[in-house]
Each structure stands twice: as structure tokens, then as C-alpha cells.
Structure 1
Amino acid sequence: MKRFFFLLLLSIILASCARVGSPVGGTRDSIPPQVIGSNIDSPRVNVQRDIRELRITFDEYIALKDINKHLIISPPLRKITKILPSGMANKYLLIKWEDTLQENTTYNFNFGNAIVDNNEGNPLGYYNFAFSTGPKIDSLYISGELKSIFKDQEKTTEEGSLVVGLYQEKDSMDYRQKPYYITKADADGYFELNYLSPGNYRILAFEDSNSNSVYDMGKEKVGFMKDKIVLDNSISGLNINLYPSRKSVKYVEMKENPGGILMTFEGNPEKVDVLSLSDKLRDYKVTHKPKSDSVYIWFDATAQNVGVANNENLKFSFDNGVKKDSVSLFYRYNAKNEMVLNNSGGNLLPPGKDFVITSNYFVDKIQPEKWTLVSDSIQQDFRAEIDEKNPFEIHIKSNFKEGKKYSLTIPKETASSFYETTKISKRFDFEADKLENYGEFVLTLENAPTQKFWIQFITERGDIAYSRYVNESKIDFKSLKPGTYELRILVDENNNGVWDSADFADGVFAEPVYIFEKKIEIRPLWDIRETWKLPLNNLETDSATVTPFNKEEITKPLTSENKE
């Protein structure tokens, strides 16, 4: 019996000693794992090209955290077959591949923050392992900072998703492949491309949202230089701005929409011609605003008996200026889709503003002579207009007095679209808000753009709160809601009424963007005045996406130890 208990106790002790895990009690370990050896010894030069693995040994058990997200190998190895540890921790890191290494080439394995100790998760930050198949390790570098010009309203940029790559300049460069050299920016946008060899390169920065290390045109933000980089000395202070990338014009889908069918495209087509190929659908209207991704096809489904009893296969042809094609849709009329007028701006009308009514249908005709605007039981003079730029809006103009309450009545059938009219009367009650609840901002521009431009107030969420399309050097914004805003200017260089994003395929930069250096805080009853001097050469946030950089001689590449 004693022997049984002795064996049981011994088994428990041995199991405890064999387990790899966090110790209980004591001072917390804050020291990251340390490298004590590798299968490629110093000076790590003249490495055989047929080597198929990298093994790095550490002084304690390690784990790999998000290795696929952090690990960057330059030049890229295409056939990685194994990465350890995976699951259970051990004291070495192993990477195996099938590629034959290039001759006279420096390879850099950048692990980011993926290597951590198994006990406390302390990362071995920004660890690089470099070796060369030639007689020396290349030591040039490029460092700088990435900046995303436009805030993303839907998500924030994750650390490690911003990528900078170098392509060797050749007669034929395939940007659908991984860059020859590649690195990831840190949370502040700082990046380093290390262990570079002299040569001519093209630089490309992008938001690698799907973590494939390849720029997906039209889907990811992009920044680039039109001219090549001649790398004979190291480069520091290279600032690259990231802009939305221009999408190619293409058809996306069709779907049933109130009043007809909505056809959507990508790439902001200038013009889309649409024709019905169905015998039953002959009477219809097509509306499309130039540079819009939405094309509306309006028709009276009940009058033409289209999709009323059953699904109707409707066919259309389109010409978007890039492609001609035909598409079809199984359409079913939805009797609930009536023409409806709404007040989407709320019941408080800012001073000096129009009262705006929105419609779910294209507004073709209104009869404002049958409408009434009343305040204190007294009818008020007003004027109603369909907005020229947005025919889904009706603007009510009047001498609105602050603090007064108003009631606008629109009888049924006095607002109509091509084949539909409002079926019910609508009454809108609202109040003209007091000036004391708003602020004013007057901006004076020095070196204002010669072309027309948008000046915009951007909320902390990234939404456009106010926008003006002007060509003036002094702009007065009245009746601004209190809050903190970013101020930016988008220049319409080609005067097409749309700010054009970057087109990497054709080497066309985004149109110029300027960001004011400080936040604008609007307060009630405050009259804020600012002077903004724009750079003459448009280099602060220019369409070329870079600022001037300095070249300097160095003896070793930047690492986490000497990064400022």
C-alpha cells in the first residue's frame, strides 16, 4: 500500500515538472525571450542556396502570436511548408520552405511582435533575422511614416494592416505579386524597410485589409510615387499619404426598388445608357447623375402589368462607357412601395437654412401653390423648389424667425414622380432654432486653389457635417452646431464636380487634399476666425503622396534598438 502511494506521489511530481506553463506566485516575468543560437551562424553570409529551413533557439519556452499576421519575409518565399511552434510551446522557432534561394541576396525575416515567452506573453519586439547568400549583408534602409488622409467611417485601421513594399524596377513589373521587399507600419504609421540592396525601385504603400501582402486595386487605400527610387544611399523621413483607390467601372447588380429598379455600378461612371429588352416594359424613365454609382429605372408596374401577379423576367442592356452588356432580373411588384415624403433633418431648423423634405422617389413635379405654411395661425410666404443637384429633395425657403414654430401642409397628389404621386397628405411641424445655439466660422485662405474646391467640416466619427463647393479665398460658415471638427479641402482639379481618388493602374494621383493643422472647436455664439496658408507647391498633403526626404550615409540598418 505504501508503495502504491509512493508511486502515485512520484507520478504527480513528474507530471508537474514536465508541464510547460505559467509559474504560480513570485515576481512577474517581464523579460522577453532571448536568442541563444541558430542553424545559420554569424556572420550569416555565403549561406548555401539550397538551405531549406531557419531554426532559432531561445533561452526559454516561446509561443508564436498571430505569426501569419506579423511575419514578413523579404524577398518573399513562396512555398512555406512549416512554422513551429504551433500549439505546444518549445524552445526553438522553425520555418521550413521549398524555394531555392537567390544568389547574392540578403533575406530578412521580420517577426514583428509575434515571438512571445510562453509564461507571460512578453514579446521580442520587432525582431529581425537577416542572412545573405552572398559575401555581405545589404545594409541600406528606407524609413518614414504613412498617413491615411481620410478617416474610415466603418472601421479603424488595425496595427499591421498598413504595408509598404518595394518592387525592383524592370521592363515588366507585376503588382499582383508580393513586393520584392515588404514591411508593415506600426500603430503610429512608422515603417522601416531594412537590409536593402542598391538599385532602382518602385515604392507602393497600401492598407492590406485582407492580409495577403498584395495590393487589391479599388478595394484598399493606396499611396505611391510616380518616379522611381534610385537607392544608392539610405533614405529617411519619407512620408507617404494613403488615399482611397479608384475603382474600375463595372456593373454590380440590379434589384427591385420603390418605383421600379435600381441598377448599381462601381467606379463612378460618367454616363450609363440603359434600354429595356422586354416587350412588356416599353414605358419607362432612366435617371442617372453623372459620376454616380446608382441608375434608377422608373415605370408603372400596374399599368403595364409587369410583375404584378408573378415574378417577371426583365432584361436590360447597358453601356457604361467601358463595357456594353445585357442583364436580367426576376422582378416582383411591391404594392407597399408608395411615394413618401419625410423630414430627415429633424424638427429644429438651424438659422438661415432651408427646411428640407426628402422623398424615396425622384421628384418630378410639385404644386406648392396648394401647400400652406403657417405660424401662429398666420399663413407665411414661402417658395418650394426641387433641388437641382439632388431631385430626391424639396427645399422650402421662407423668412423663418428664430424661436417661431411652423407647420407645413402638403396635400395628397401635389408632389409626384414620373409614374407615381403622393397618396396621403403630410403635415410637418418644426421650429426655427435660436442663433444663440450655434457658432460661426470665418476662414481666410492664402494661396487658395485656382480651381473650385470643397471645404468640409469632418466630425470625430469621420462624417461630413458641412460641405461647400466654392472658389473663394474667404468663406463664412454660419449656424454651425457646437462640436469639434477637422477641416479639410478637396480640390477639383479637372472641374468634373467629383473629387477623384488615386488610380494606381494608370499612375494617376488622387486630386489634392489639404488638412488643417489643428482641430476646429465650434461653440455657441462664438465667432471664430482663422487664416490658412496653403503651400504653394502642394507638398504638405499633395497628390504625389510624398514629402521631400533626406539621404544620409549609415553603417547599419535601423532596428528596434536604434529606432527613435
Structure 2
Amino acid sequence: MRKIIFLFIFSIIVTSCARVGSPVGGPKDTIPPRVVGSNIDTSRVNVPRNIKELRIDFDEYITLKDINKNLIISPSLKRMKKILPSGMANKYLLIKWDDTLQANTTYNFNFGNSIVDNNEGNPLQYYTFAFSTGDKIDNLYISGDVKNMIAQKQSGTAEKNFVVGLYQEKDSMNYRQKPYYITKADPDGYFELNYLSPGNYRILAFDDANGNSVYDAGKESVGFKKEKIELDKSISGMEIYLYPSKKAVKYTEMKEVPGGVLMTFEGNPESVKVQSLNAKLQDYKVTQTPKSDSVTIWFDARKQDLGITQSENLKFSYDNGIKKDSVSLFYRYNTKNEMTVSNSRGNLLPPNQDFAIKSNYYIDRIQTEKWTLVSDSIQQEFTARISEKNPYEIFIKANFKEGKKYSLTVPKETVSSFYESIAKSYRFDFEGDKTENYGTLNLTLENPPTHKFWLQLLNEGNDVAYSRYGKETKFIFSSIKPGKYQIRILVDNNENGIWDTADFANNEFAEDVYLMDKKIDIRPLWEIREVWDLAPKKEAPKETLPNVPTPIETKKP
């Protein structure tokens, strides 16, 4: 019996000693792990070039959180082998690689917030470890802020992944490789590039959407400085602004759509010339909004017997100004693809606005003399027109009254595309909304852009809710839905009708952008008056910082 009791107590003691986890009771641990040593000498200079690992010891058990996202090594090591701990907690961190280190080079391992204690998950914030294969550790740095000027629509808790990098200025530089020096900005956009050696560099920042530490043109926002950086002393307070990047013009795909075939491109080609290479398809129309990414080829599939009983291999040639080529698809006519019209903007019509309906087909002709607009059983006078900017939309103008109900009847065959008309009649019921449900913005610009521009009101989802184009300096938006809005100006510097994005390869900035530094709160029946001075703000003279060594282990100030 004594033997059994002894074995039971012994097993409990062994289990308790082996467990790595949170202690029971006592005050909560809020202290992050502390470094107690490493396999590299404390001076961290003259480190052998053939060393193949870095081991850092801690005073408690640690785990690594999102280490692949957080760890930044500058200059980069291409052949990584192992990073520990992986899964199980440990009292040391181990990184192994196969590369031979460069001579007289300072290496910086930036762990971000990935090192946490195993008990409470307290991070060792912004921890870095640096060493040199030469007789000194380079001590220059660049710090500053990254700001995204054209914020993308947020989906859930979308994480910023801003990366800042330096390329060594050379006769030929491959920007499809990782930067020579690289770091991540924190959630506020602040960044530090530490342990830099003197030299000439190109700097860029980008939103590293896929986490590969390489700038992907056309897919990721980018910011850069046009001039090279002659780094002979440290730089503080650098500001880098991110803009959408220019996509190369290229064909992407072709697919069947209601009324014909849709051909899509990247890079917003100026215009695309399309020609049918099929003997059966001779009667067709091609539409493209200038500098848009899509071209639609319209035709009457039934009349020309295309894809009715079986798939038809349709071939087309195209010339997008950059490339000439031919493409094809197997086309099958979809009997459900009839031409339709629908209410474009809801059943409550804001004051002083036109009612709008839209179609799934390009609208070529309307017969408004057969339409009727009725309120209180009385026919109302109206006019209708196809939108000049969007030929898929029709605007109906009348003396609409607040609180009045209206009914618009659009008989069949009175809205037509090139080869199709609506096959049934439509009725749209709507009501003139009341002024008391909307607010007004009265905006005056001082020192406005010299070129035409878009003045935009962005809602809280970063969608453009209201927009005007021109060179006016006074704007009155009289029927704005209540809410908070960001005011933005996109300048059409070359006045080509589109806002041009950044082109890093050709060292071309995006066209100018202005963001008001506060949001406008629109309330029902309120008139908000704002004056926005677009003149550059004068900055106070900055004190020149002494060229002092950067601490080995840096943290965000």
C-alpha cells in the first residue's frame, strides 16, 4: 500500500515539474522576456563570415508569434533553414541559414513583436539584434512615417503591411528582388531603417499585400523619392506617401455577357481596336469608355446563329496600343440574358435630384414619348436623357415635390441597345424625400489647384458618395445623407480625364492628392460651412540631429 501511495505522489511531482505554462495564482505576469545571452560575442563585431546560426537565450520560456510576418533581416538572407521555437515553448531562439555572410557588413535582425513569453504572451516589443562581419557596426539610420493617400475600402480588420526598403544605387538595379535594407512600419505608419552603412540608395515604401517583401507593380500601393539618397548622416522625419501603382497594359480574359462578349485588360489602355476573325460574325458593335479596362463586343447571336445549339469558337484580334494579338473563346448563347432596366438609386429621391434607371445593356436609343410619369393620378411633364458619362444609365428630370409619390411607366421596346430592346414594360414607384432628412455642405477652396480636379466626399466605408469635376472654388452639396465624410481632391494634372497612378519603374509620381485633415459631420437640416486652404503648410525649422550611434537594441520611441 505504501508503495502505491509513493508512486502516486511521485507521478504528480514529475508531471508538475515537466509542465510549461501559466502558474496558478499570484499576480499576473506583465514583464516581457529578457535577453540573457547569445552565441555571438557581446561586442558583435568581426563575426566570422561562415557562421550559420544565431542563438539568443532568454530568462523564461518564449514562443514566436507570426514570426514569418514579423522577422525582417537586413541585408536579407536568401537560404533560410530553420527558426525555433516552433510549436513548443523554449528558453532560446534559434535561426539557421546556409548563406555565407558578406564582408564588412552589418546585419540587423528585426523581430518586431513576435517574441512573447509563454505564460501571458507579453511581447518583447520592437526587438532587434545586430552584428557586423567588419570591425564596426554601422550606425546610420532613416526614420519617418508612411501614409496611404488613397485608402482602400476596408474589409473587416484589414491589417496594414507597410514595408520600407533601400536599394543600393547601381547602374542596374533589380526591383523584383528584396531591398538591400528593409523594415516594416508599425500600425501607425512609423518606420526605422537602422544600422545603415554610408552610400547612395533609392528608397521606396509599399503595402506588401502578399507578404513577400517584394514590390508588385500594379497590385500594391507604392511611395518613393525621385532623387537618390546620399546617406552620409542619419535622417529623421522622412515622409513617404503611398498611392495606387500603375499596371502594365495587357489583355486578361474574355467571357460571354448579356448581349455579346466582354474583353478585359489591365492598365487602362487609351483605346482598343477589336476585329472579328469569324466569317459568321460580321455585324457587331464595339464599345469602350476611353482609358477603361473593358471592351464589349455586341451582336445578335440568334440572327447570326452563334452558339445557339452548340458552343461556337469565336476569334478576335485586338490592338491595345502596346500589343497586337488574337484571342478566342467558346461562346454559348444564354437565353436568360435579356435586356432589363431597374431602379438605379433607390425608392427615395433626394431633393433637387433626377430620378435614374439603369440597364444591363449599353443604351443606344430611348423613346420617351411613350413613357408616362404620374403623381396623384395626374400626368407630369418630364424629360429624359441617356447619361453622357455612363451610357448604361438614364436620367429623368421633372419638378419633383417633397413627400409626393410618383410612378414612372416604361413600355416594352422603348429602351434599346444596338441589337436588343426591353421585352416587357416596367413600372417604377418612388417618392420625393424631404429636405429635413438631409444636410448641406458649403465649401470654399483657397489656393486651389491650377488644373481641373475631382472634389470627392468619401463615406465611412471609403466609397465615393459625391463627386464634382472642374475648376470651381465654391461647392454647394445641398442633399447629403447624414454621416461623417472625408473630403478629398484628386488633381487631373495632365487633364486627360483620369487620375493617373504612380509609376515607380519610370520614376513618375501619381497625380496630386489633397486630403482634408478632419472629417465633416453632416447632420439633418444643418448647413456646414468650410474653408479649405490648400496652400502648403509652413513647417518650423527642424533641429539638425547629431550623428550619434544608434543603440544596438532599438525600440519605437
TM-score of the superposed pair, with normalisation by structure 1: 0.96
Q: Is the CA contact (8 Å cut-off) linking 1:202 and 1:225 kept in structure 2?
A: yes
Q: How far off its partner does 1:151 sit?
A: 2.1
Q: Which residue of structure 2 lines up, in the alignment, with residue 553 of structure 1? A: 546
Matched, 1:217 2:217: yes
> How big is the shift at 1:103?
1.1
Residues 1:3 and 2:7 aligned together = no
Q: Secondary structure at the match of 1:484?
A: strand
- Find the aligned partners of 1:137 and 1:536 in 2 and give their Cα distance: 39
SS at match of 1:552: coil
Matches for 1:69-468 after TM superposition, within 5 Å: 69-155=69-155, 159=159, 161-468=161-468
CA contact (8 A) 2:129 2:552 kept: no
Report Cα offsets for 1:315-357 as digits up to 9, x if no partner: 1111111111111111111111111110021111111111111
**8 Å Cα contact 1:245/1:502 also seen in 2:** yes
Aligned residue identity for 2:371: W
Q: 1:562 to 1:89 in 2, by over 3 A?
A: closer
Q: 1-side partners of 2:57 and 2:139: how far apart?
A: 25
**Structure 2 spans left out of the alignment, 5+ residues:** none
CA distance in 2, matches of 1:75, 1:504: 22
For 2:113 and 2:126, locate their aligned partners in 1 and report how far apart those are by CA, in whole Å. 6
Looking at structure 2, the residues matched to 422 and 133 of structure 1 have their Cα atoms a distance apart, in angstroms, of 76
> Which position in structure 2 is the counterpart of 1:504?
504
Bigger mean CA offset, 382-391 vs 398-407: 398-407
Offset of 1:402 from its aligned partner? 1.9
Give the aligned length. Answer: 557
Q: Is the 8 A contact 1:355 1:395 kept in 2?
A: yes
Work out whether residues 192 and 558 of structure 1, in 8 Å CA contact, stay in contact via their aligned partners in 2.
no
- What amino acid is aligned across from residue 210 of structure 2 in structure 1? N
Distance 2:3 2:438 in 1: 87
- Summarize the Cα distance change of 1:559–1:346 in structure 2 as closer, same or farther, 3 Å threshold: farther
Aligned to 2:474: 474
- In structure 1, runs of 5+ residues without a counterpart are 541-546
Partner Cα distance (2:479, 2:85) in 1: 61
Contact 2:270 2:290 in 1 (8 A): yes
Is 1:531 the equivalent of 2:550?
A: no
Deviation for aligned residue 1:2 = 3.1
Q: CA deviation at 1:8?
A: 4.0
Report the 3-state secondary structure (helix = DSSP H, G, I; strand = E; otherwise coil) of the residue aligned with 1:96: strand
- What amino acid is the match of 2:549? K
Give the aligned residue type for 2:319. Answer: D
Q: What SS does the aligned partner of 2:466 have? A: strand
Instruction: Determine if contact 1:444/1:474 at 8 Å carries over to the other structure.
Output: yes
Label 1:160 to 1:393 Cα distance change in 2 as closer, same or farther (>3 A): closer
Q: Distance in 2 between matches of 1:394 and 1:141?
A: 58
Instruction: Give how far 1:26 is off.
Output: 2.0
C-alpha spacing 1:106/1:156, structure 2 compared with 1 (3 Å): farther
Q: Give the Cα separation in 2 of the matches to 1:445 and 1:456.
A: 13
* Alpha-carbon distance in structure 2 between the residues aligned to 1:348 and 1:356: 11
SS at match of 1:422: coil
Task: Determine the structure 2 residue equivalent to 1:543.
Answer: none
Q: RMSD between aligned alpha carbons?
A: 1.8
Alpha-carbon shift at residue 561 of structure 1 (Å): 6.2
Deviation of the 1:152 alpha carbon? 1.7
- The percent of aligned pairs where both chains have the same amino acid is 69
- 1:531 is displaced (CA, Å) by 0.9
Deviation at 1:282, TM superposition (A): 1.1
| 1:307–1:333 contact (8 Å) kept in structure 2 | yes
CA distance in 1, matches of 2:518, 2:436: 25
Q: Distance in 2 between matches of 1:156 and 1:447?
A: 37
The 2-side partners of 1:550 and 1:504 are apart by 31
Deviation at 1:15, TM superposition (A): 2.7
* Distance (Å, rounded) in 2 between the aligned partners of 1:276 and 1:241: 44
Distance 1:450 1:251 in 2: 35
- Structure 1 residue identity aligned to 2:428: F
Paired residue secondary structure (1:478): strand
Alignment-mate amino acid for residue 548 of structure 2: T
String of CA shifts for 1:464-512, please: whole Å, max 9, x gaps: 1000001111122121111110000000011111111111111111100
Q: Quick check: 1:168–1:180 contact (8 Å CA) kept in 2?
A: yes
For 1:115 and 1:517, the matched residues in 2 are separated by 36
TM-score (norm 2): 0.97
What letter matches 1:30 in structure 2? Answer: T
- Is 2:37 aligned against 1:37? yes
Cα deviation 1:203-241 (Å, max 9, x = unaligned): 010011111110011111110010011111111111111
**Quick check: 2:146–2:190 contact (8 Å CA) kept in 1?**
yes
Determine the C-alpha separation between the residues in 2 that align with 1:332 and 1:230: 61
Partner Cα distance (2:218, 2:427) in 1? 44
Q: Which amino acid aligns with 2:63?
A: A
The change in CA–CA distance for 1:506 and 1:193 in structure 2 (over 3 A counts) is same
Alpha-carbon separation, structure 1, partners of 2:543 and 2:403: 59
1:552 Cα offset (Å): 2.1
* 1:236–1:551 Cα contact (<8 Å) kept: no
Distance 1:448 1:558 in 2: 45
Give distance in 1, aligned partners of 2:104 and 2:158: 35
**Deviation string for 1:129-160 (max 9, x for gaps)?**
00111111111111111111122214368556
Match of 2:276, as an amino acid?
S
1:69-91 CA distances to partner (integer Å, 9 max, x unpaired)? 11000011111111111122211
Matched with 2:18 is 18
- Shift of the alpha carbon at 1:551? 4.9
Paired residue type of 1:363 = I
Equivalent pair of 1:110/1:126 in contact (CA under 8 Å): yes
Residues 160 and 207 in structure 2, CA contact (< 8 A), matched pair in contact too: no
Shift of 1:23: 1.8
Amino acid at match of 2:462: G
CA contact (8 A) 2:130 2:552 kept: no
